[in-house]
Structures are given as C-alpha cells and as structure tokens.
Amino acid sequence: MSKFTFTETKIKDLYIIEPTVFGDNRGYFMETYSDTAFKEAGLDYVFVQDNQSSSRRGVLRGLHFQKTYPQAKLVRVIKGEVFDVAVDLRKDSETYGEWFGILLSEENKKQFLIPRGFAHGFLVTSDYAEFVYKCDDFYHPEDEGGLLWNDENIGIEWPEVGQIILSEKDKKHPKLKESNFSF
C-alpha cells in the first residue's frame, strides 16, 4: 500500500499529493517522496535539484517557467501557508491557459506536482512561509520565462492578503497573449 494519495486535478497531469502522516505524542513522521510510489502512480520523474525559499506575507513569486529547459516541480510548504498556482502552457492541451490553485501549508502537508509545460507561482498567505521544491532539471538563469501574475485573460483568483509584494522582474512579465514561447 502506498504511503501517498495521488489526486489528479481538473488539469491533466497536474497532481495533488497527500503523504500519510504518522503522529503520536512525540510529533510526526512522513515520507515526502518515494521514487517507487511515484512510479507506481504513473509519475515517472527524476528529480535533480532541491530548492528552498522563505517569504513574508503578501510576497508573490511567479508566474515562472523555463523556456528551453522546462522543469517539473514537486512543491510543498514546511512553515506557514501559501496559495500555489499552476497555469497550463502546453499549446496542444485542452486546458491551455487554464489555472489551478491550491492552499499548501505546514498543517495540511499537501504537495503539488507540476509537470513540464506549466507556469508556476505562489502567494504567501501567512505571516511567514518556507517553501521547498524538487525540480527534474537544473535551473538555467538565462532561460527564465514568466507571465504577468494578474493577467485578466488567465483570471487567477488570488486570495486577499493586503499588499502584494513582487520582484522587479515579476512586475515586468508579459501577459499570456503577448508571450512568445511554446511547449
């Protein structure tokens, strides 16, 4: 029996993954990744890089993707809470341009598997959050791509958190209709 529950979202290949948490009066234990369990679920990835970031309330990171070296990501929150979003950028997909969002937190311990061909971003909804993720390809800074976080044609329904805090780079991303890339 798998120690994970794999739930495909309304967008093909985009999964919510819930680990089995074993808890007692000492705390808890859980596996966060198992190559065998993921492959048995049809999710055959080889992760090559782990990343971690910390952010304060209102920080929005995204919507990011790699143009030539796309990355699949397995993301989760180890402290605090974020609203995590993936946007389907696969040109031949029936759900091209559609988004899916999920609340990830240290309490719910959910993970989000985002395959290649998606833009990804998150908004911190708690006072502070630590975000960790695995990637199936290395980061190439010269290959960065992005979409404007509030593109009305995508229509992401971001939670209300007060002031949104963006990097200068994220303020300048194009809208989906203005971007020049293909997956």
pLDDT tens, 114-141?
999 999 999 999 999 999 999 999 999 9
pLDDT of residue 1: 58
Q: CATH class for domain 4-178?
A: mainly beta
Contacts of 14 (CB under 8 A, 6+ apart): 8, 86, 88, 100, 112, 113, 114, 115, 118
Exactly one of 45, 120, 133, 173 is catalytic; which is it?
133
Confidence at 180, pLDDT banded by 50, 70, 90: confident
Give me the residue label for tokens 């791509």: 145
Every domain of the chain and the residues it spans: 4-178
pTM of the model: 0.95
The tens digit of pLDDT for each residue in 11-70 reads 999 999 999 999 999 999 999 999 999 999 999 999 999 999 999 999 999 999 999 999
Under 8 Å CB-to-CB from 139, ≥6 apart: which residues? 49, 51, 66, 71
**One of 45, 64, 120, 173 is an active-site residue; which one?**
64
| Catalytic status, residue 64 | yes
